[in-house]
Amino acid sequence: DAGITQSPRHKVTETGTPVTLRCHQTENHRYMYWYRQDPGHGLRLIHYSYGVKDTDKGEVSDGYSVSRSKTEDFLLTLESATSSQTSVYFCAIRPGLANTGELFFGEGSRLTVL
């Protein structure tokens, strides 16, 4: 258990509404990531953070924004949700400063946009 909590775990919303997913960690890791998982596409990186207020884009960042105002929380926001953003969203932390390819993932947040 890497001390990662995602909330909410399940959410159903309507097209055009804003949605915020929260990732909370308890071990002060510097690096945090948001991925989405879709059949046939695997896991695709949305955004990641390398410190408080330091974030960068991933492969599929359009339509998403992130914020990290404190070490333990990394928020993913869909400003105006669309049906194409229906997915399972995973938060992950990197336990070390070097990128060894090791990430610890949360349990996921399943989002359905109607």
Partner 1 sequence: QQQVKQSPQSLIVQKGGISIINCAYENTAFDYFPWYQQFPGKGPALLIAIRPDVSEKKEGRFTISFNKSAKQFSLHIMDSQPGDSATYFCAASGGTDKLIFGTGTRLQVFP
Give the interface with partner 1 as residue ranges (CB under 8 A).
31, 33, 35, 40-45, 48, 50, 56, 58-59, 90, 92, 94, 99-108
4: enclosing H helix or E strand: strand 4-7
- Two structure tokens written together for 10: 């399940």
Question: Taking the complex as a whole, how short is the minimal distance between the CB of residue 100 and partner 1, in angstroms?
Answer: 5
Question: Taking the complex as a whole, how short is the minimal distance between the CB of residue 73 and partner 1, in angstroms?
Answer: 18
Dihedral over alpha carbons 21, 60, 114, 40 (to 10 degrees):
-110
* DSSP character string of 31-56: EEEEEEEETTTEEEEEEEEEETTEEE
Closest CB to partner 1 among residues 31, 64: 31
Closest CB to partner 1 among residues 16, 96: 96
Question: Taking the complex as a whole, how short is the minimal distance between the CB of residue 98 and partner 1, in angstroms?
Answer: 9
